[in-house]
């Protein structure tokens, strides 16, 4: 008999025998209702030979009821035949003890998964075999004195399972007499237990004791490989994580300094500048309204300028109105964008160079004894290339900031044009006698009444634009930092981590082969495999 079915069939045979005895007791208590015994689902796992035997006996029991023959004697004989089958199974199981002991020795070195079936516990245990849960019910069965030698009780023993083939046969509701150990799965009964579960037992899938040493070695080596891989990557992850944290802190500091410089030197002066521009607004309009001989605007030029929203040929009313405000912030503007900000970019580049050097050292030092000289030389050149790239990339946001601050200085005049749009349109709509006087009055009234609103809005608009420029510059710096970190992670991992993983994988293969040879040689010398076949 194949060892795949030993424990399962032993349990099933004893169960069927007990069922037979139970029906015999029922028959004795119901002499007037001598029904044919129903073995239920408990016989579904019996081999085809025993299944045929029981089929014949059941059919014969039906004929006994008609002919009045010795029903009790026949059932007793059937019960004895069951124990005879159990005896044969016990002998075959005993022959496997040596093989199991050898595998237990292998297991001490962690080369396979093991379940220890210990009869000392009275509780049901939930065991986990290669990630699958199996409930093992353990019960003591006291055999009769006549059949003591028919029971096989190995005590604690190692059961070796191959997860890919692990299938547990469905039990029945009445499991009170299953000997010592029985496996109760958590799946439902197959649709046709007579055929399907019997076929499972025939194919040796009820419980697969696959003892391939190669599988055990693979499991062991793969576990070690995962641990080693994590160890190899751990130092690198620490180094790259440290670099990322340091450079990101550097980025935050740069953005904070940039905003602080612009606020202290430009934004904080905008309200004062707006107030000064509002005071100058009526005087500027008075120059436009002066007689032509004194530098004032001709009525046609006045109308054309208003029609074009304050700009006509070389005349730009908006710019003239913005000049007093710009005069008040120009000193701080130049100090911020031409004196204070450029050194911050230089400091940012130097600090990034410094942290890259530290990362270079942190990444190589833990593995300097095993890293090839060629890899070290390559990484030395790589870090120098990073430094040159950083300087080139930082020139882009610096140039962009410089160009945008020139555009922002013109923003005040643009905001003034927007706020004076209706005033310009009203002036341009004047016709008939006294057109020039009407236009002059409209502009003068607005300068005296609404000038503060115009310049206050201009100040707030410029503040928003400057803060947006700070944020946009910070985003460009973040893109540069992300690029550098991506390069470092890719290049240093390729040079330091991946070669070690490849070398260790080669060691895995050699180790697997050596362990397989050791186990095969030992089995061949002891001829243990023949004990179970």
CA distance 138 to 483: 62
CA distance 448 to 99: 109
Query: In the beta sheet, which residues pair with residue 374?
Result: none
Pairing of strands 315-316, 311-312: antiparallel
pLDDT given at position 489: 86
Sequence-separated (6 or more) residues with CB below 8 Å from residue 462:
270, 408, 411, 412, 415
Other C-beta atoms lying within 10 Å of the C-beta of residue 359: 23
Sheet holding 132-139, edge to edge: 125-129, 132-139, 180-184
CA distance 475 to 480: 9
For residue 519, the surrounding DSSP H or E stretch is: helix 498-526
Other C-beta atoms lying within 10 Å of the C-beta of residue 360: 21
383 contacts 363 by C-beta, under 8 angstroms: no
* DSSP-derived secondary structure letter, 135: E
Residue 141: phi and psi, rounded to 5, are: -125, 125
pLDDT given at position 207: 36
**Sign of the C-alpha dihedral computed for residues 190, 194, 196 and 198 taken in this order:** positive
Sequence-separated (6 or more) residues with CB below 8 Å from residue 124:
135, 136, 137, 138
Query: In the beta sheet, which residues pair with residue 183?
Result: 136
Q: Is 136 helix (H, G, I), strand (E, B) or coil?
A: strand
| H-assigned helices in 203-316 | 213-265, 270-289, 299-307
Q: Is 114 helix (H, G, I), strand (E, B) or coil?
A: coil
Instruction: Tell me the pTM.
Output: 0.52
466 contacts 262 by C-beta, under 8 angstroms: yes
pLDDT given at position 400: 87
Domains of the chain, residue spans: 3-211, 221-520
- At 162-206, the pLDDT tens digits run 333 333 333 333 333 333 333 333 333 334 333 333 333 333 333
Other C-beta atoms lying within 10 Å of the C-beta of residue 194: 12
CA distance 449 to 152: 111
CA distance 506 to 529: 30
Which of 268, 193, 277 lies closest to 12, judged by CA?
Answer: 193
- Count the helices and strands in the chain (H runs, E runs): 16, 7
Q: Is 117 helix (H, G, I), strand (E, B) or coil?
A: strand
Sequence-separated (6 or more) residues with CB below 8 Å from residue 166:
129, 130, 132, 134, 207, 208
The list of the chain residues with pLDDT below 70 reads 1-229, 232, 370, 408-409, 501-516, 519-520, 522-533
Residue 495: phi and psi, rounded to 5, are: -85, -30
Burial class (CB in 10 A: 0-12, 13-18, 19+), 213: buried
pLDDT given at position 496: 79
Give pairs for 294-300: CB < 8 Å, separation 24+: 299/435, 299/436, 299/439
Burial class (CB in 10 A: 0-12, 13-18, 19+), 243: buried
Sequence-separated (6 or more) residues with CB below 8 Å from residue 130:
113, 161, 163, 166
325 contacts 276 by C-beta, under 8 angstroms: yes
pLDDT given at position 52: 52
83 contacts 150 by C-beta, under 8 angstroms: yes
pLDDT given at position 324: 92
pLDDT given at position 506: 60
Sequence-separated (6 or more) residues with CB below 8 Å from residue 19:
37, 39, 40, 42, 174
pLDDT given at position 267: 94
pLDDT given at position 221: 40
């Amino acid at each position: 008999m194949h060892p795949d079915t030993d424990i399962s069939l032993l349990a099933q045979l004893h169960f069927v025998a007990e069922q037979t005895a139970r029906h015999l007791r029922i028959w004795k208590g119901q002499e007037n209702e001598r029904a044919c015994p129903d073995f239920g689902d408990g016989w579904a796992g019996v081999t085809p030979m025993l299944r045929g035997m029981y089929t014949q006996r059941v059919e014969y029991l039906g004929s006994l009821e008609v002919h009045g023959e010795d029903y009790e004697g026949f059932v007793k004989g059937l019960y004895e035949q069951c124990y005879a089958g159990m005896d044969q199974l016990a002998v075959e199981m005993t022959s496997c003890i040596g093989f199991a002991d050898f595998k237990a020795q292998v297991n001490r070195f962690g080369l396979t998964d093991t379940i220890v079936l210990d009869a000392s516990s009275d509780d049901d245990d939930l065991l986990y075999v290669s990630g699958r849960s199996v409930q093992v019910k353990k019960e003591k069965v006291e055999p009769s004195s006549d059949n003591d030698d028919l029971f096989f009780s190995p005590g604690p023993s190692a059961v070796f399972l191959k997860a890919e083939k692990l299938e547990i046969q469905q039990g029945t509701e009445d499991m009170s007499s299953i000997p010592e150990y029985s496996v109760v799965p958590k799946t439902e009964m197959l649709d046709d237990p007579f055929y399907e579960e019997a076929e499972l037992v025939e194919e040796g899938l009820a419980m697969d004791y696959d003892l391939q040493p190669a599988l055990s070695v693979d499991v062991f080596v793969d576990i070690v490989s995962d641990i080693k891989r994590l160890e190899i990557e751990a130092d690198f992850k620490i180094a790259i994580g440290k670099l990322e944290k340091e450079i990101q802190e550097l980025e935050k500091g740069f953005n904070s300094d940039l905003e602080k410089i612009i606020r202290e030197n430009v934004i904080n002066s905008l309200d004062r500048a707006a107030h000064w521009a509002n005071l100058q607004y009526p005087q500027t309009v008075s120059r436009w309204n002066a007689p032509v001989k004194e530098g004032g605007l001709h009525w046609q030029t006045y109308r054309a300028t208003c029609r074009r929203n304050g700009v006509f040929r070389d005349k730009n009313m908006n710019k003239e109105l913005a000049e007093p405000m710009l005069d008040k912030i120009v000193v701080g503007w130049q100090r911020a964008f031409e004196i204070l900000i450029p050194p911050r970019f230089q400091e940012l580049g130097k600090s990034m160079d410094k942290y890259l050097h530290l990362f270079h050292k942190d990444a190589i030092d833990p593995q300097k004894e095993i890293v090839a000289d060629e890899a070290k030389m390559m990484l030395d050149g790589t870090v120098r290339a990073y430094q040159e790239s950083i300087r080139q990339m930082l020139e882009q946001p610096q140039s962009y900031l410089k160009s945008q601050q020139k555009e922002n200085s013109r923003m005040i005049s643009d905001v003034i044009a927007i706020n004076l749009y209706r005033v310009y349109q009203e002036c341009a709509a004047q016709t008939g006698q006294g057109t020039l006087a009407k236009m002059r009055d409209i502009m003068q009234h607005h300068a005296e009444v609404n000038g503060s609103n115009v310049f206050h809005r201009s100040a707030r608009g410029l503040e928003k634009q400057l803060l947006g420029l700070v944020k946009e510059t910070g985003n460009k710096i973040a893109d540069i930092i992300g690029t550098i970190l991506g390069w470092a992670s890719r290049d240093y991992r390729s040079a330091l981590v991946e070669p070690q993983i490849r070398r260790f994988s080669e060691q895995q293969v050699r180790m697997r082969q050596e362990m397989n040879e050791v186990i095969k040689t030992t089995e061949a010398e002891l001829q243990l495999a023949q004990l179970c076949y």
